[in-house]
Amino acid sequence: MTNIIKTEDSSKTLLGFWVYLMTDCVLFASLFATYAVLQNNTYGGPSGKQIFDLPNIFIETILLLTSSFTTGLVMLAVKKRNKNTVLLWLAITWVLGALFLSLEISEFRSMVLAGNSWRSSAFLSSFFTLVGTHGLHILAGLLWAGVLAFQLATKGFTENVTRRLHLFSLFWHFLDIIWIFIFTIVYLRGTL
């Protein structure tokens, strides 16, 4: 009877998390739609073609996509119940995510110092909002990964820790998918 209740709770948690991810899809869809409408409203300021640094953005993309791969390796190690390997791949995922976020913050800082802040034009306002929202999600993921590493190190493979690792993996892969859209729609199209 206890296993049935735990399985029901796990199913409800997983369903609830999928609902959360779908609400995040709606959030990002609205931010992408706003960006699409405002991307040409530069108010006489620079366009994406003039301010985007594609080589730097490409490095960010490689870092985040590699972190998605390492998250997959986390889940393979979870299936094998290899705590040290999970912690290693989770740490590597964290480092890659932190490097991505630091490059993104550096990009924002450079833009603002050059006089291209979110207050300069509708284009930049929508850009900072869309990319910044993704960055905040990455920060939340980094905090989550840190908590998971601590929980796994102290509690081991409990049912809750294992489920949380699975949910974290879904969340991180979701952020990578969103980044692919940002890279394609915002940066690549913006430099054409």
pLDDT at 4: 42
Q: How far, in Å, CA of 145 to CA of 116, rounded? A: 33
Cα(14)–Cα(29) distance, integer angstroms: 22
Of 73, 57, 51, nearest in space to 123 by CA:
51
Q: Which long-range contacts (CB under 8 A, 24 or more apart) does 142-149 make?
A: 142/94, 142/97, 142/98, 142/101, 144/168, 144/171, 145/90, 145/93, 145/94, 145/97, 145/172, 146/94, 148/90, 149/87, 149/90, 149/91, 149/94
Based on the number of CB atoms within 10 Å of its own CB, is 53 exposed (0-12), middle (13-18) or buried (19 or more)?
A: middle
Task: Find tokens 């999600």 and name the residue.
Answer: 137
Q: Are 86 and 77 in contact (CB under 8 A)?
A: yes
* pLDDT for the residue numbered 183: 97
pLDDT at residue number 2: 39
User: How many Cβ atoms from other residues are within 10 Å of residue 30's Cβ?
Assistant: 11
Number of domains into which the chain is organized: 1
User: In which residue ranges of the chain is pLDDT below 50?
Assistant: 1-5
pLDDT digits (tens, 9 = 90+) for 132-147: 999 999 999 999 999 9
pLDDT at 1: 37
At 192 the pLDDT is 82
Q: How many CB atoms lie within 10 A of CB 189?
A: 13
The verdict on residue 46 lying in a domain is no
In a domain, 155, yes or no: yes
Domain range for 94 is 2-38+52-190
Is 157 a member of any domain? yes
Q: Is residue 34 part of a domain?
A: yes
Asked whether residue 45 is domain-assigned, the answer is no
44 lies in some domain = no
Q: Report the distance separating Cα 5 and Cα 13, nearest Å.
A: 12
User: Tens of pLDDT along 12-45?
Assistant: 888 999 999 999 999 999 999 999 999 999 888 8
Domain at 71, CATH number? 1.20.120.80
In-domain check, residue 47: no
pLDDT at res. 124: 96
